[in-house]
Amino acid sequence: MRRRIQRISGLASLIPLHTATDIPLQRQLYEGLRQAIVSRQLMSGARLPSTRALAGELGLSRTTVFQAYQQLLLEGYLEGRRGSGTYVARNISDGLFAPAQQASSGYGPFLIPATRRQSESGATSSTTFAARDVSAPSTASAPSTMPRLYANPAFRVGQPALDAFPHTLWQRLLAHNYRNSWTDLFGYQEAAGYQPLREAVASYLAIARGVRCTYQQVIIISGSQQGMDIIARTLLQPGDAIWMEDPGYQGARWAFQRAGLRLIPVPVDTAGFDLAAGQALYPDARLAYVTPSHQFPLGATMSMERRLALLEWARNRNGWILEDDYDSEYRYTGRPLPSLQGLDDAGRVLYLGTFSKVLFPSLRLGYLVVPPSLVENVVHARRGMDLHSPGLEQAVVADFMVEGHFQRHIRRMRTLYAERQALLHQMLTRRLSGLLEVQPDTAGMHLVAWLPPEMESQPVMQALRDAGLSAMPLAATSLRPLRRDALLLGYAAPDEEKMAEGVRILASILERQRVRRSLAVS
């Protein structure tokens, strides 16, 4: 007979939790909260207890409550308000009232090779992924967007070195703009963005990335996710098929799924995005989403042959290419590679960049570079979302770039991250030889650490979270099953002490998993 966990009055009365079941408590709590929202027992705008308060009320760990809140935040049922707390979202999309779905997962460094998948009836169907799957991967798969619960920044993917950020300089620029320009910056701004910042971005990209554009083609956005949403609204229709790198950036997957697009998972290899495979899988794609300078997450660089072939495809088929240049600044050998956009002579490439990895994530500023023919439509779509990005922050970033601080900061971080990557690789090799297979990378902010073929990432991820660490499994980035899983281990954020602590904890976890696996086999 199922035994209910003892509950007290309050929100707990809406959430029945059971220990006599195989369903994790985090999943039970997520489902209970989601059902309460869908059934209107929790009304739009209702304030939820803090993770600490609800954990005490339900007798759960705070981490369990955080994980449930995190997934509901990612899916759009909840919203966080800075300095105020967590609330039921005020504008919940009708699509979110569909039953929640589990994210796909799999294992291995190589995708199970199949361009066709057997259905239960024995028939084959194309390995495409259709639209309106609004569920986000579980928090085991998702990067942390609420890092306060993670005391140790070791392994956090995409997190820059906030300890090395020039805080005093930033405060000075912030105060200067607040003091001298607040009357201009506190009012409504241009939807395309603050012109001095657009000019600074265009100048920087021309020199550093070989991007060919005028400032009029630069649209300031509130992060990469918004840029992807704008592109989906402007260029595509629900049901259109797009090629996605697989494994690839899961944030792009979520954005395009929510737009109702059909995702075609295209394999990547050491030469990057495999155009021939994409054409074999689905020749009528409308857009190709690629990370050619440093493929996320495996780190490949797209070869020149494939770059030219992809541009030819776009030109001949009137297709579009979205070039996500998310961390091109951090290349540790040789010069940064020129952009795909700089090779485009047909106006088919849209270039996406972000300040989150270079400056800090909560800034929520990025940029789209679009062909002249699309500027008006993209600006119109940008205006329809949230009018514009915050003016004060745009002005500070513009000054940061124009005064030369931006490139100096990149140079310092490039040196620091190269040192931290080498340190992490050395620690992993020394402590985890035989348990992880890790090779250094020539660029980026994380290493790919392959698990033993028989080891699954889920229990490892759970143990890491319980220890206050955040990492990402490779399976979270793939639309198709993998033969072997890996951990993506960020190295940019932690200092040497935190990194050593993280490696020590990871080594202990993997040793325990190996022992348990050996006992199970025997």
Q: Which fold has domain 11-99?
A: Arc Repressor Mutant, subunit A (1.10.10)
pLDDT at position 415, please? 94
Strand, coil or helix: what is 98? Answer: coil
Per-residue pLDDT band for 240 (boundaries 50, 70, 90) equals very high
pLDDT exceeds cutoff 80 at 354: yes
Please write the tens of the pLDDT for every residue from 511-522. 888 777 665 555
Of the listed ranges 273-287, 301-315, 502-516, the least confidently predicted one is 502-516
Cα separation, 157 vs 446, whole angstroms? 6
pLDDT at position 12, please? 65
Cα separation, 345 vs 351, whole angstroms? 14
Question: Which two structure tokens, joined as six digits, stand for 154?
Answer: 């070791």
Residue 245: name the closest of 234, 253, 236 by CA: 253
Residue 390: name the closest of 204, 199, 181, 201 by CA: 181
Cα separation, 224 vs 365, whole angstroms? 8
Residue 207, C-beta contacts closer than 8 angstroms, at least 6 positions apart: none
Say if CB 336 and CB 329 are below 8 A apart. Answer: yes
Cα separation, 89 vs 43, whole angstroms? 9
pLDDT at position 152, please? 82
pLDDT at position 37, please? 85
Please write the tens of the pLDDT for every residue from 425-462. 999 999 998 889 999 998 999 999 999 988 888 889 88
pLDDT at position 103, please? 33
64 or 349, which is more confident? 349
Residue 151, C-beta contacts closer than 8 angstroms, at least 6 positions apart: 468
pLDDT at position 46, please? 85
Q: Which CATH class name applies to 147-164+410-521? A: alpha beta
Q: Residues of 102-140 as b/e, b for ≥16 C-beta within 10 angstroms? A: ebebbbbbebeeeeeeeeeeeeeeebebebebbbbbbbb
In the chain, the percentage of residues whose pLDDT exceeds 90 is 46
- In this structure, the strands spanning 218-221 and 241-246 are unpaired
Q: Which CATH class name applies to 191-407? A: alpha beta
Cα separation, 444 vs 424, whole angstroms? 13
pLDDT at position 335, please? 67
pLDDT at position 309, please? 96
pLDDT exceeds cutoff 90 at 219: yes
Mean pLDDT of the chain: 82
Highest average pLDDT, of 74-88, 251-265, 308-322, comes from 308-322
Say if CB 341 and CB 302 are below 8 A apart. Answer: no
Per-residue pLDDT band for 340 (boundaries 50, 70, 90) equals very high
Per-residue pLDDT band for 392 (boundaries 50, 70, 90) equals confident
- Element containing residue 66 per DSSP (H, E): helix 62-75
Please tell me the pTM assigned to this model.
0.71
pLDDT at position 148, please? 44
pLDDT at position 295, please? 93
Cα separation, 86 vs 53, whole angstroms? 12
Say if CB 238 and CB 260 are below 8 A apart. Answer: yes
The DSSP string of 429-497 is HHHHBTTBEE---SBSSEEEEEPPTT--HHHHHHHHHHTT---EEGGGG-SS-BSS-EEEEE-SS--HH
pLDDT at position 22, please? 64
Per-residue pLDDT band for 26 (boundaries 50, 70, 90) equals confident
Of the listed ranges 39-43, 170-174, 346-350, the least confidently predicted one is 39-43
pLDDT exceeds cutoff 60 at 330: yes
Q: Which amino acid is at 184?
A: D
Strand, coil or helix: what is 144? Answer: coil
Q: What is the Cα 20 distance to its own chain's centre?
A: 35
Longest CA–CA span in the chain (Å) reads 73
Say if CB 432 and CB 425 are below 8 A apart. Answer: no
pLDDT at position 271, please? 93
Residue 286: CB atoms within 10 A of its CB come to 18
CB-count burial class (<10 Å; 0-12, 13-18, 19+) for 90? exposed
Cα separation, 473 vs 105, whole angstroms? 10
- In this structure, the strands spanning 472-473 and 486-490 are antiparallel
The residues with which 46 forms a beta bridge, in sequence order, are none
Strand, coil or helix: what is 364? Answer: coil
Please write the tens of the pLDDT for every residue from 35-53. 888 877 788 888 888 888 8
What is the helix, strand, coil percentage profile of the chain, to 5?
Answer: 45, 15, 40
Domain ranges of the chain: 11-99, 147-164+410-521, 191-407
Please write the tens of the pLDDT for every residue from 90-136. 766 544 554 433 333 322 233 433 333 333 333 333 334 443 333 34
Residue 440: CB atoms within 10 A of its CB come to 15
Cα separation, 251 vs 248, whole angstroms? 9
Q: What is the average pLDDT across 205-220?
A: 92
The residues with which 436 forms a beta bridge, in sequence order, are 433
pLDDT exceeds cutoff 80 at 368: yes
pLDDT at position 30, please? 84
pLDDT at position 31, please? 83
pLDDT exceeds cutoff 90 at 215: yes
